[in-house]
Homo-oligomer: A and B are copies of this chain.
């Protein structure tokens, strides 16, 4: 069950902010072998690996257009409506993120521009598991579509029958995707990084996955294919004062716990009374949960940390840099204003993480394991390059020539200086 830790010293904070470290030499070797096989044997390696690893006897690598089109008939009207509603909100929020081009004269005759150009070929990975995670299709495909990436492919492991879930196909078609491949694991990442006969090579790979997928993403990122971010187990932090509802906090903790045994939930509060009430609510709510054994295990490495000073709560949150941060406090926006590191922030008692996980419009692909200190969650910027352009008029170059020549010569780069001198000489003649 969840532990309560009362007023820990600052010296103990780093320990309390730690996550499970995943660093496994044999994992790297296994994944490296998979990648090499895909580079060498292409599609054939994908079939063999799916057989060896997932016991898939036969399947069609590329999902047919007919199967994609038929998906809309195979899911309930209620779920279709839900996906459409969520997609609308996600689209609206991501469209609002599109950045405007920059076009200025930095000095007379020196024009500098910055434009967002969509990445040409992107690959989306949607993990398998006990249920089809179609919501992640929306979170990755909608921003790609909003910025206008011309080639979007999706890989996802098929079920044991070899089929991709209709929910995933419907969400994909809802986002205009037509190229869906029934392959998962490290081999799917390798296929998108290096290309096979069937699966095109992409420039950047997005999406969560198990540790094989994550390691494969890290490995291809060293070579030639960019990735969205390093991914780890999901996590939530809840900051709560006496305006928080213990039952809501408990429900949020459980919705984190059900993600998996390695996910982590942390409550920061000044109130031992609230901590005890949360614990009571957890016990009560867990009884009705189908996956209670699972949740109990995950809660065993979660914690409620009592920090009487509001300043300490904020400092600890910033050190931890949580993927999700729920602020159930009277002055939630003030607290949020002091926040420097988090993936996504949920304000007040009626903004549960599950709202952002599915339907409010924010992206749920977020930095975990403290990476929020340096990484953003997926957003429209994740799918573009910002290319700069410059045009100097002869006069513009002339007026900067002394500056450039002086700096180039001071750095010992004479040819850099010459490239300016030779141009300026034509103006004077």
Per-position binary interface string of chain A over residues 372-401, scored 1 when its CB falls under 8 Å from any chain B CB and 0 otherwise: 111111010100111111111110110010
Residues of B with C-beta under 8 A to A403: 81-82, 85-86, 358-359
Residues of B with C-beta under 8 A to A119: 373-374
Q: Among the listed stretches A47-55, A271-279, A347-355, which one makes contact with chain B, having 4 or more residues with CB under 8 Å of it?
A: A347-355
B258 touches A352 (CB 8 A): no
In the bound assembly, the distance between CA atoms of A391 and B332 in angstroms comes to 10
Q: A350-B397, A360-B400 are in contact. Are A339 and B418 (CB under 8 A)?
A: no
Within the complex, what minimum Cβ distance (angstroms) separates A111 from chain B? 8
Residues of B with C-beta under 8 A to A82: 402-404, 406-407, 410
A29 interfacial by beta-carbon distance below 8 Å? no
In the bound assembly, the distance between CA atoms of A384 and B401 in angstroms comes to 33
B120 touches A92 (CB 8 A): no
Please report A residues at the B interface, Cβ cutoff 8 Å.
Answer: 23, 78-79, 81-83, 85-86, 88-90, 92-93, 96-97, 99, 102, 104, 106-107, 110, 112, 114, 117-121, 130-135, 167, 203-204, 218, 222-226, 230, 245, 247-248, 251-252, 254-255, 257-259, 285, 289-291, 295, 318, 332, 336, 339-363, 370-377, 379, 381, 384-394, 396-397, 400, 402-404, 406-408, 410-420, 422-423, 426
A413 touches B258 (CB 8 A): yes
Q: A390-B344, A410-B131 are in contact. Are A354 and B285 (CB under 8 A)?
A: no
B252 touches A419 (CB 8 A): yes
List 19 other contacts, CB 8 Å, given A96-B102, A96-B104, A99-B99: A82-B402, A82-B410, A92-B107, A93-B106, A132-B411, A134-B411, A257-B415, A258-B413, A258-B415, A285-B422, A353-B416, A354-B404, A359-B400, A359-B407, A361-B390, A363-B388, A372-B385, A374-B385, A376-B384
- In the complex, the chain B residue whose C-beta lies closest to that of A352 is B419
- Copies, count: 2
Within the complex, what minimum Cβ distance (angstroms) separates A357 from chain B? 6
A360 touches B114 (CB 8 A): no
The 9 closest A-B pairs by CB, nearest first: A226-B374, A131-B412, A106-B361, A347-B391, A82-B406, A354-B416, A89-B106, A255-B415, A352-B419
In the bound assembly, the distance between CA atoms of A413 and B129 in angstroms comes to 12
Residues of B with C-beta under 8 A to A107: 88-89, 92, 361
In the bound assembly, the distance between CA atoms of A384 and B351 in angstroms comes to 25
In the bound assembly, the distance between CA atoms of A403 and B417 in angstroms comes to 62
B388 touches A345 (CB 8 A): yes
A359 touches B396 (CB 8 A): no
Residues of B with C-beta under 8 A to A408: 354, 357-358
In the bound assembly, the distance between CA atoms of A347 and B140 in angstroms comes to 34
Residues of B with C-beta under 8 A to A418: 251, 254-255, 285, 289
Q: Which of B23, B97, B354, B412 contacts A102 (CB 8 A)?
A: B97
Q: Which of B85, B404, B422 contacts A355 (CB 8 A)?
A: B404
B392 touches A386 (CB 8 A): no
A350 touches B394 (CB 8 A): yes
A247 touches B391 (CB 8 A): no
Within the complex, what minimum Cβ distance (angstroms) separates A14 from chain B? 11
